[in-house]
Amino acid sequence: MLPDEAALAVRAAELDAADRLAAVRRRFVLHSGTDESGGGDRPEQVYLDGNSLGALSTGVLPRLTEVITREWGELRIRSWEESGWWTAPERVGDRIAPLVGAAPGQVVVGDSTSVNVFKALVAAVRMAPRGRDEILVDAATFPTDGYIARSAARLTGHTVRALPAAELAAEAGPRTAVALVNHVDFRTGRLHDLRGITAALHRAGALAAWDLCHSAGALPVALDADGVDFAVGCTYKYLNGGPGAPAYLYVRRDLQPRFDSPLPGWNSHADPFGMAPGYEPADGAPRGRVGTPEILSLLALDAALDVWDDVAVPDVRDKSLGLTDFFLECVAALAPAGRVESITPRAHAERGSQVSLRCAGAGDVMRELTARGVVGDYRRPDVLRFGFTPLYTRYTDALRAARELAAVLEGTG
């Protein structure tokens, strides 16, 4: 071990010993380190892809076993009332609400992020005064958000203008109905100014819709305090809800009476079992529902959220910044000079909870890292992404990831 690496190892151990969230790691099912081929022990896997799919929490399997064997297997249809299935979309939404800075009654869980983006954008343009015929989108947005925005524009007679997120505030004008912005850029990990952009949009008379997929559960979000109009997010990344877990939709309370969903399903009807031919929307958050809730995945998410019961989001943010700072330091100290370049902002105010490195041959590098037990991902053509989930990632994990990355780059130089 080189002197620099030895010093980093000492620091990693000290930081892990002082970690206020260290005990939370035990609430997750993580790699045991046992070599299943019978060849003995191997190093525990370092999982740095929680920004794509969060780890399984220990409470999910027992909860789903109960749901399947008793609630579905025995109670069957009675579980809609007796087991609380019917109200689960709002109940679980109220559990997510504190993680995004929202009071109860404004978040409903169901459908996918894409579907909820569509609901929010169409509802927003329907609220806009006549003459506001423009939807602004973050030019670096996750592709689906752009696809949905263009479809919503075609259906409503609006146009879409894509701009860098930093320019949205200045470019919003009298034609702007709504802007759709990513809180954290999925490629680079850049954190955008939710409060400032929202305020600027409001000054221009426009509404603000935010995509929280890469921020909720990793850093503080203050939807109510910052006056956000609509927000959407997935639950399978930092909220650890599982693959394909349902997304959520936030509609600010004072806008709910005007929320005219483009997908008026029977589950959002004021009297869903009345089976009336005419549609009358429910009051409050249920207005964002559409069809029958995804009960198995919804209740798996409910169980996954138990890990947050005694976790303070500011502590999560502190550790996230500490982990990403330390990882960048380790990469600078150990990786061959000139082989990787960070495209994630150094400034804490501009950084989410991931580190993205530009690297030639990124796909091959990530495949080799995965074979060595360090799991991240990459985005074509040349970006390595490492997601740091503070609930279960350790400083020693960050060091090992940097060490293995350096070894791979040395071998491919």
What does the pLDDT read at residue 43?
72
Average pLDDT (247-266) is: 97
Residue 142 designated active-site: yes
| Identified catalytic residue from 118, 230, 236, 326 | 236
Residue 259 designated active-site: no
CA distances from 380 to 138, 228, 357, 384 (A): 19, 32, 12, 9
What does the pLDDT read at residue 413?
54
What does the pLDDT read at residue 37?
42
Reported as type and span, the H/E element at residue 411 is helix 395-412
Residues 6+ away with beta carbon under 8 Å from 133: 157, 158, 159, 175, 177
CA distances from 209 to 103, 118, 184, 206, 239 (A): 17, 11, 13, 10, 20
* pLDDT tens digits for range 162-174: 999 999 999 999 9
Instruction: Retrieve residue 364's tokens.
Output: 């091959």
What does the pLDDT read at residue 41?
56
- For the chain, percent of residues with pLDDT exceeding 70: 96
**If DSSP codes are grouped into helix, strand and coil, which group holds residue 144?**
helix
Reported as type and span, the H/E element at residue 377 is strand 377-379
CA distances from 372 to 236, 382, 383, 400 (A): 25, 20, 19, 10
Q: At 38, is the pLDDT very low, low, confident or very high (cuts 50, 70, 90)?
A: very low
What does the pLDDT read at residue 31?
72
What does the pLDDT read at residue 142?
95
Q: At 339, is the pLDDT very low, low, confident or very high (cuts 50, 70, 90)?
A: very high
Say yes or no to pLDDT of 304 above 80. yes
One-character DSSP codes across 162-191 = EE-HHHHHHH--TTEEEEEEESB-TTT-BB
Neighbours of 122 (CB within 10 A): 23
CA-wise closest residue to 183 among 315, 350, 343, 385:
350
Q: Mean pLDDT over all residues of the chain?
A: 95
Query: What whole-number distance in Å separates Cα of residue 172 and Cα of residue 135?
Result: 9
Amino acid symbol at 213: C
Contact yes or no for 43/404 (Cβ under 8 A): no
What does the pLDDT read at residue 32?
53
Contact yes or no for 357/342 (Cβ under 8 A): yes
What does the pLDDT read at residue 72?
98
What does the pLDDT read at residue 40?
47
What does the pLDDT read at residue 44?
84
Give one word for 361, left, alpha or beta, with left for phi > 0 and alpha for psi -120 to 50: left
Sole residue written with tokens 């990355």: 405
| Identified catalytic residue from 185, 211, 377, 397 | 211
Residues 6+ away with beta carbon under 8 Å from 102: 223, 224, 250
19 phi/psi in degrees, rounded to 5:
-70, 120
User: First and final CA of the chain: distance in angstroms?
Assistant: 21
Amino acid symbol at 74: E
* pLDDT tens digits for range 176-209: 999 999 999 999 999 999 999 999 999 999 999 9
| Identified catalytic residue from 385, 394, 400, 403 | 385
Sorted by where each starts, the structural domains of the chain and their CATH numbers stand as 3-44+311-412 (3.90.1150.10), 61-308 (3.40.640.10)
Q: At 36, is the pLDDT very low, low, confident or very high (cuts 50, 70, 90)?
A: very low
Reported as type and span, the H/E element at residue 313 is helix 313-334
18-32, 52-66, 278-292, 396-410, range with the lowest pLDDT = 18-32
| Identified catalytic residue from 28, 47, 118, 142 | 142
* pLDDT tens digits for range 108-156: 999 999 999 999 999 999 999 999 999 999 999 999 999 999 999 999 9
Residue 236 designated active-site: yes
Say yes or no to pLDDT of 346 above 80. yes
CA-wise closest residue to 249 among 237, 261, 238:
261
Dihedral over Cα of 361, 364, 369, 372: its sign: negative
pTM over 0.85: yes
Q: At 35, is the pLDDT very low, low, confident or very high (cuts 50, 70, 90)?
A: very low
What does the pLDDT read at residue 42?
61
Query: What whole-number distance in Å separates Cα of residue 230 and Cα of residue 210?
Result: 6
**If DSSP codes are grouped into helix, strand and coil, which group holds residue 348?**
helix
Average pLDDT (340-365) is: 98
What does the pLDDT read at residue 244?
96
| Identified catalytic residue from 25, 95, 237, 289 | 237
More confidently predicted of 37 and 383: 383
